[in-house]
Amino acid sequence: MKLWRHKATQSIRTGEPRSRFFMQVKPLIVLLCLGLMFYVYSNWQNWLEKLDDRPISAFNLVGTPAFTTDEDVRDMLIKMGDLKGFFGQDVSLVREQIQKMPWVKQAVVRKIWPDRLNILVSEYTPVAVWNDNEFLSSDGVVFKLPVDKLQDKNLPHLAGPDYQSLVVLDAWKKIYQDLKTKGLTLKSVAIDDREAWQLELDNGVLLKLGRGEWKSKLDRFATIYPQIEVPENKKLSYVDLRYKVGAAVGMVDINE
C-alpha cells in the first residue's frame, strides 16, 4: 500500500511540468494560427490567379434587352483592357463598366467556367423625350439613349429642369386626358425655371398657361378656341391664358 501511494504521488508530480509547459506555448500556437490565417487571407487571390490558365475571352448577353446589343457590351469590355481568368476576374468591375451605358439601369454578371461571362441587363424604358436630347423613364429618371435605338418615334416631348421631371410627367398625363375630353390632342408640355407652364397642341398652337393651376385655364381655352377668327393666309400661333379673364392670341403667316 505504501508503495502504491508513493508511485501515485510521483506520477502527479511528474505531470505538472508538462502542463505548465503547454500553458506557456499555447499563446504562441494561437498567434501562429492567426498569422497563418492572415497570410492565407492576404494571398488567396494571388494563388487563385495563378490557377487561371487563360483569361476570360467570351460573353453571353442573356435575356431580350430592347436597346443593348452584343456590340455595345463588347465595346464596354474592350475599354477595360485585358480581362483576368475565371478565378482572378472581379465581376463587380465588369458590372460597373456595363452600367456606364446610360440606358442601363442595372446589370448582373456571372462567371461561367472556364472563360465566359453571362451578362443580364435591366434597361430604362423611355416614355417621353426630355429637353429634346434626352429621355424620361416612367419613374422620372432622365437618361440618354442614341436616337437610332429608339423604336417609338411618337413619344411626347417634355421639358424643364431635371429636378422637375416627375412633376412634368405627371402633368402630361393629367393635361393629356383633360384635353382629350375636349377633343384636343396634346403634343408637348414644358415648365421653365419660374415654374411657368407652356403646352403645344398637335396642330402647333402654343398655350401659355403661366404659373399655378392649369385646369381652369384649359376650360377657358376650350370655350374661347372655337370663337377665334383667323384671317385668310394666317394661322393661329399661340393663345396666352395668363390673364384672369379672356386671353391674348397671336397669328403668323401660313408660310412661316
β-bridge pairing 116-123 and 58-61? parallel
Number of H helices, E strands in the chain: 5, 12
Please check the confidence at residue 223 and state whether its pLDDT lies above 90: yes
Check residue 54 and give its pLDDT: 83
pLDDT interval class at 203 (50, 70, 90): very high
Cell of 203: 396642330
Please state the pTM of the whole predicted model. Answer: 0.77
User: Amino acid identity, residue 169?
Assistant: L
β strands within the chain, DSSP E:
58-61, 104-112, 116-123, 128-130, 134-136, 142-143, 157-159, 186-191, 197-201, 206-210, 234-240, 248-253
- Residues 81, 142: contact at Cβ < 8 Å? no
Check residue 8 and give its pLDDT: 43
DSSP state of 252: E
- Residues 6+ away with beta carbon under 8 Å from 125: 66, 137, 138
Question: Rounded to an integer, what distance in angstroms lies between the CA atom of residue 77 and that of residue 88?
Answer: 16
Question: Rounded to an integer, what distance in angstroms lies between the CA atom of residue 254 and that of residue 22?
Answer: 104
Q: How many other C-beta atoms can be found within 10 angstroms of the C-beta atom of residue 203?
A: 10
Q: Please give the CATH number for the structural domain made up of 56-121.
A: 3.10.20.310
Q: Do domains 56-121 and 124-251 have the same CATH topology?
A: no
Please check the confidence at residue 246 and state whether its pLDDT lies above 50: yes
- Residues 103, 97: contact at Cβ < 8 Å? no
pLDDT per residue over 139-153, tens digit each?
Answer: 999 999 999 999 888
Residue 154 exposed, middle or buried by CB count within 10 Å (0-12, 13-18, 19+): exposed
- Residues 101, 75: contact at Cβ < 8 Å? no
pLDDT per residue over 29-76, tens digit each?
Answer: 666 666 556 554 555 556 556 666 789 999 999 999 999 999 999 999
* Segments making up each domain of the chain, as ranges: 56-121, 124-251
What's the CATH architecture for 124-251?
A: 3-Layer(aba) Sandwich (3.40)
Cell of 180: 382629350
pLDDT per residue over 113-162, tens digit each?
Answer: 989 999 999 999 999 999 999 999 999 999 999 999 998 889 999 999 99
